Structure 1
């Protein structure tokens, strides 16, 4: 197993169990406890978990159900949605993922807009189903029940069949270096949509900036635009502008 995969597995186990011992990880991964100690120290130094005597503790906050996240920061998401809407033009092909800010954007799409939207999100599909002009392509796969999205090999294989003008990405966590999220399957889906898109637009409430989650999606500099309710002139935002990203 490559080191990157081993570190991801350690995070996955720790976050799932809450805490785990060196001995348990050593057995599960078939490596020495010294190797596990070094790995946990590295993850601790990156603030992805907490090293404790004999093992590690998870620092991942409760992963709220979609319905809970949908209600959080609603006013900020509405501001972001209005800004993002200005990027959409007739006849475009768009990827929409399962972010709750994406849902707010979906709700305000004009009735005379004619685009094709490709999504793995049941809430997004549900809003669009009555739209008179928008064509919707729903990506099949396994249902991720707490997020109302599909994921897995079927979803990834379907994404590879399209090329989108824009991908509207719901940002979970972002630093000037990396985009990350709480679930490996979500990271895989977002990464696949990024690969198949001409331009990538991250929808990001201000509380997501300078935060990290367990699973790396890609480098932040892969984003073309970040849409946020945050003032683009703030010192915090300059770090992202320095990556060559447009802030809206």
Structure 2
């Protein structure tokens, strides 16, 4: 079998099963595990999947630049943002990260709500400027230009000062076994501190980001309190998360 044929079959199986294993592919394609390992390495270098111990999982789909992400899956993110509003109550302290779904929550936030918002997102801070009853505490630091968020030690030290009621966490990739991951190391560090500084973690993710993985670890999946997606919460595909004690919304 030609290498290109193996690549196509590996990617097809990954779409179908959401995870592939070296041993299973070796049997299916009648080649050695070393050959499969090299194939997966090459596909990973092309950005077509994420290599993990013993096999591979899908990469998170969609663009990584904020200007591109804000225009991607807009209808689905509107659904997510409207669901997220139901979890916000007067007098809460809420951490907003820089994900585009979190930005849409800020955009839809009622003008009469009373909140304290902690954020490292320039778009979130800008959108909340006209909310008379929302106090905005902005985490300074170094600007990550393609995401319009602050990162680095100053940002992290600022976020460590809080014990927020809720963290609205934009998710790039989440996998039941591999946890929450990010394509950017410094953003993953900031997200980790946001989680440590919050009682309840509400993850915002379009369904296509579930069971995918990126390079940098953020937290175990069961650290999430709620996962809000653009699909019905009763979807059978979510069973793997509800079994971890996570509420789906």
2:166, 2:201 within 8 Å by CA — same for their partners in 1? Answer: yes
1:158 is displaced (CA, Å) by 0.4
Which residue matches 1:235?
236
Q: 2:15 aligns to what?
A: none
Deviation at 1:50, TM superposition (A): 3.9
Q: Could you give the per-residue CA deviations for residues 2-45 of structure 1, whole angstroms, max 9, x where no partner exists?
A: xxxxxxxxxxxxxxxxxxxxxxxxxxxxxxxxxxxxxxx99x96
- Residue in structure 1 matched with residue 210 of structure 2 by the alignment: 209
Aligned match of 2:45 = 57
Aligned residues: 202
**Considering only aligned residues, what root-mean-square deviation do their CA atoms show, in Å?**
2.1
Residue 112 to residue 62, structure 1, CA distance change in 2 (3 Å): closer
Matches within 5 A, 1:16-95: 50-52=40-42, 57-59=45-47, 64-95=64-95
Runs of 4+ with deviation above 4 angstroms: 60-63
Deviation at 1:58, TM superposition (A): 4.9
User: For the Cα contact (< 8 Å) 1:200–1:222, is it kept in 2?
Assistant: yes
Shift of 1:186: 0.9
Task: Work out whether residues 241 and 247 of structure 1, in 8 Å CA contact, stay in contact via their aligned partners in 2.
Answer: yes
Is 1:174–1:180's contact at 8 Å kept on the other side of the alignment? yes
TM-score by length of 1: 0.77
Determine helix, strand or coil for the equivalent of 2:239.
Answer: helix
How do residues 1-248 of structure 1 correspond to structure 2 at under 5 angstroms? 50-52=40-42, 57-59=45-47, 64-177=64-177, 178-248=179-249
Give 1:235 shift: 2.5
Shift of 1:63: 5.0
Contact 2:62 2:69 in 1 (8 A): no
Shift of 1:230: 1.4
Residue 5 (structure 1) aligns with: none
8 Å CA contact 1:50–1:58 kept in 2: the answer is: no
1:215-241 per-residue CA deviation (whole Å, 9 max, x = no partner) reads 110101000011111122222111111
**Secondary structure of residue in 2 paired with 1:168:** strand
1 CA distance for matches of 2:62 and 2:212?
A: 15
Partners of 2:40 and 2:45 lie apart in 1 by 5
Q: Which residue of 1 aligns with 2:16?
A: none
Gaps of 5+ in 1: 1-40
- The alpha-carbon deviation at position 169 of structure 1 amounts to 0.2
TM-score normalised by L of structure 2: 0.76
SS of corresponding position for 1:72? coil
**Residue matched to 1:13:** none
SS in 2 for 1:51: helix
